[in-house]
Chain A
Amino acid sequence: MRHTPLYEEHQSQGGKVVNFHGWALPLQFSGIIAEHHHTRTSASLFDCSHMGEFLLKGPKAIRALEGMVFNDMICLGVGRCRYTSLLDVCGGIIDDVIAMKLAEDELLVVTNAVPYNKVSRVMRRVCQAEDLTAATAKIDVQGPKSREVLLRLGLTDIEPLRYFSVCRTKWRGVDIIASRAGYTGELGYELYVPNDSAVPVWRELAACPEVAPAGLGARDTLRLEMGYTLYGQDVDESHTTLEAGMARFINWESDFHAREYLLMQREMGRYKVRTGIRSFDRRAPRHEHLVYHEGRVVGAVTSGTFGPSVGHGIGMAYVPVELSQSGNRFTVGPKDLPVETVSFPFYKHGSVRD
């Protein structure tokens, strides 16, 4: 298993380390539900150093990327972040990523660990990108108290950041890229730091009384309550970005290589779309449960769990577009658990835009 620069920290803090797609990462520290609630009410630290970072320099590279994603990269304002997806020509999702405009001719693309091998080839071949993954640690500070914690520690450049903004800063001699983004639905920041500074930065943050470390388990329940996708489980190349429910992000005026296929799919209108489902008690839909409607199999669940902040089962399933509107009843799994389609997010009280 590959170790992040924070591996020993997790061990010493009692993290239960598991194999996450070849990376040794903490599943939990104090407990998934406790860490979930701590993130919603205070601030948590997540080690996301397994994720990929690629730096694109110059208009040619940025234009090349724009050719394979569904929205604008060239027009993206300096200091802004944008959610997008690397698509194959048929609209299948090679990866869903965050692009951050660091300067007029500099774009940092943050990618997932699961499809890294494919993505790194694409990024190097198509965009001549510089792969910063192996040299970069990523520490997410997430929760309503994250801003006050960072400001108190002297990271003052983050103060003016709006949601989905980014800045370069220097903190105690360390060059940091700080974005206001995350995967939890709470106010939060992502700090990109050189590997050799990861431990001191982590320790400084962890020493704050509001802050506790959190693992992959809480990260999953938090993101699921927000309806955020997990690459490799909810979205991948076998689903187009339309099927993945990303229609609202697509700029149809942009001349990207999957446009024709996706227009055709939109025109036909007959496909399965990623849809939110909820149960009516604490039982949860689960990954790979089949979805039944009037006695027929109509789809499958890709993610599901008990939502600690909403108090009932939640999940995502691919169901036919015509059945995807809110309020439709289905059953899922071998025990016919009743569920209803609902719009994302499941949890509506997050501090993400505060």
Chain B
Amino acid sequence: MYPSNLRYSKTHEWIRAEEGQWAVGITAYAAEHLGEVTYLELPEPGTEVKAGDEVGAIESVKAASEIYSPAGGTVAEVNEALTDNLERIGASPHDEAWFFKLTGVDEDELAGLMDAAAYEKYLAELDE
């Protein structure tokens, strides 16, 4: 269920190479746990971030959570369309509902993230 072209963080963000940039979003697991999203705060374009930085916030009727950047870089683009279509986060977490795109990512840094198989194993342990 988790696409193999994404890499995953323990805080349930994913990152994917996309035409020279890196798209970031939250995983289906995170979206499912939050339920219907009622508020989304994304970083400003141009923001310099480090891996693990808190870069935004997401809330649902049930819970509130922080968004962490899975990699360091510069925020090049933000998915503005998402703010008015928050239901897309639950409907298409790994595709349509990307949150922001980074440039200047050091690919070596991504080695610390999980591939799909490792992430699924991690989830299985969490739900035990």
Contacts and interface: CB of A to CB of B under 8 A. Distances in A.
Contact of B61 (A281, A283, A308, A335): A308
Given A284-B64, A286-B64, A33 B59 contact: no
B82 to A, nearest CB: 14
Nearest to A28: B35
Interface of B: 35-36, 38-39, 57, 59-64
A282 B39 contact: yes
Interface of A: 28, 31-33, 217, 220-221, 281-284, 286, 305-306, 308, 335
A24 B59 CA distance: 25
Given A33-B36, A283-B39, A306-B59, 18 more contacts: A28-B35, A32-B62, A33-B61, A220-B61, A283-B57, A283-B59, A283-B64, A284-B39, A284-B64, A286-B64, A305-B61, A305-B62, A306-B38, A306-B39, A306-B60, A306-B61, A308-B61, A335-B57
30 contacts: A28-B35, A31-B35, A31-B36, A32-B36, A32-B61, A32-B62, A33-B36, A33-B61, A217-B35, A217-B61, A217-B62, A220-B61, A221-B61, A281-B39, A282-B38, A282-B39, A283-B39, A283-B57, A283-B59, A283-B64, A284-B38, A284-B64, A286-B63, A286-B64, A306-B38, A306-B39, A306-B59, A306-B61, A308-B38, A335-B57
Contacts of A283: 39, 57, 59, 64
Contacts of B36: 31-33
A308 B57 CA distance: 19
B72 to A, nearest CB: 23
B35 A284 contact: no
B59 A282 contact: yes
A33 to B, nearest CB: 5
Nearest to A282: B39
Contacts of B64: 283-284, 286
Nearest to B32: A16
Q: Which of B35, B61, B63 has the most CB of A within 10 A?
A: B61
Contacts of A220: 61
A282 B63 CA distance: 13
A28 B37 CA distance: 15
A230 B57 CA distance: 27
A64 B60 CA distance: 45
Can you list the 7 inter-chain pairs with the closest CB atoms, starting with the nearest? A306-B38, A282-B39, A32-B61, A33-B36, A305-B61, A283-B39, A282-B38
A221 B64 CA distance: 15
B98 to A, nearest CB: 21
Contact of A32 (B35, B39, B57, B59): B35
Nearest to B63: A286
Contacts of A33: 36, 38, 61
